[in-house]
Amino acid sequence: MGAAVDHVTPMGMSGGSAEGNDKSEGQRFSCKSKLTALVVDNGGVCRAIQTALLRSYGVETEAVETGEAAVELIASGATFSLIIIEMLLPFMNGPGTAKQIRAMGAQSKILGITAFFDRRDRQEFLAAGADDFIEKPLSPEIVIPIIRELDN
Amino acid sequence: MDRNHLKRQVDFMKRSFLDQGYLDEQFIQLEELQDDDNPNFVEEIVTLFFNDSARLLQNIEQALVSGPIDFPSLDNYMHQFKGSSSSIGAKRVKNECTRFKEYCTAGNAEGCLRTFVQVKQEHAILKTKLETYFQLAKQAGPSGTSGGQIR
């Protein structure tokens, strides 16, 4: 049930650590340390956008389509600073995936993400080991503080 | 036509999409991700969206017309469709998805059918508008759709 890892064309990453997204001065916010991320989403559009956004901040990002593929990847030894997991995945759902990842001892920051925010889904995800739960879209307002936190 | 004039037209078109609520800030964020290494990122993502969403809309249509309505399946399809719609900044489409979800959660078949007509309509309108937008952007040349110019 594992899916191939997506290798979305990497975005060009401008240097500098200027805040926000303002490119008018040719600078874009970028992480200071080597950070890695895994996007787990069965939707191609969301996978591509989330991956591109994270990479634009200098985060080395991979993407998979299923919870099973994410678990396989981590079981094979891959480690990630941040894992973003969609709530509704085809087989093992988002919380189930988070639970398995935590059971393997992963210390990653786990962000649950969904199309329609639901309090019960939030509770389920947090109980499974996620650190936070948001409604799509993944935006710079969400990502930049997370990267800063991971950088420190 | 003068390239600067074309670029102004592109910017004006985008501003009108934002003002009229067809798109929201998320679309601007996508344009922020576009650069020299990936000059067609937004158009590629939007093309992927319309290809994927055509399939999802077909699945939803099928689920609505065949036999007793399978609301959990409908919910699943709409979940994915709304997720990608909101991720490209398709504001009106996203809003119709939210209305559909409410009827779906309530098990209201008539409400789902009615709202789905609106979902398809907004989807089709946006597709036409963005096709025109990208055509114009191509004529305007490189950086025809670069972000940071319009808020």
As a whole number of angstroms, the distance between CA A146 and CA A109 comes to 9
ipTM: 0.92
Residue B122 pLDDT level (bands cut at 50, 70, 90): very high
- Is residue A133 packed enough to be buried (19+ CB in 10 Å), middle (13-18) or exposed (0-12)? buried
pTM of the model: 0.88
Q: Which of A101, A9, A2, A92 is nearest to A47 (CA)?
A: A9
**Nearest CB partner across the interface for A12, out of B36, B79, B148:** B36
Could you report the per-residue pLDDT of A19-52, keeping only the tens digit for each?
444 444 456 788 888 999 999 999 999 999 999 9
**Nearest CB partner across the interface for A23, out of B32, B45, B52:** B32
As a whole number of angstroms, the distance between CA B24 and CA B85 comes to 11
As a whole number of angstroms, the distance between CA A3 and CA B121 comes to 34
DSSP state letter for A6: B
**Nearest CB partner across the interface for A11, out of B38, B52, B98:** B38
Q: Which residues of B touch A24 (CB under 8 A)?
A: 148
Could you report the per-residue pLDDT of B9-23, keeping only the tens digit for each?
999 999 999 999 999
Asked if the C-beta of B80 comes within 8 angstroms of chain A's C-beta atoms, the answer is yes
As a whole number of angstroms, the distance between CA B104 and CA B101 comes to 5
Could you report the per-residue pLDDT of B87-116, keeping only the tens digit for each?
999 999 999 999 999 999 999 999 999 999
**Nearest CB partner across the interface for B79, out of A14, A56, A88:** A88
Inter-chain CB pairs, A–B, below 8 Å: 87
- Locate A142 and state its tokens: 């969400």
As a whole number of angstroms, the distance between CA B105 and CA B82 comes to 15
Could you report the per-residue pLDDT of A72-114, keeping only the tens digit for each?
999 999 999 999 999 999 999 999 999 999 999 999 999 999 9
Cis-peptide, bond into residue A137, ω within 30° of zero:
yes
The shortest C-alpha distance from B24 to chain A (Å) reads 11
As a whole number of angstroms, the distance between CA B48 and CA B54 comes to 10
Rounded CA Rg of chain B = 17
Asked if the C-beta of B91 comes within 8 angstroms of chain A's C-beta atoms, the answer is no
Q: Across-strand partners of B90?
A: B23
Q: Cβ B33–A53 below 8 Å, yes or no?
A: yes
The shortest C-alpha distance from B87 to chain A (Å) reads 5
A124 CB-side CA count, 13 A: 16
Share of chain B above pLDDT 70, in %: 93
Asked if the C-beta of B142 comes within 8 angstroms of chain A's C-beta atoms, the answer is no
Greater pLDDT, A16 or A104: A104
Taking residues B117-140, report their average pLDDT. 97
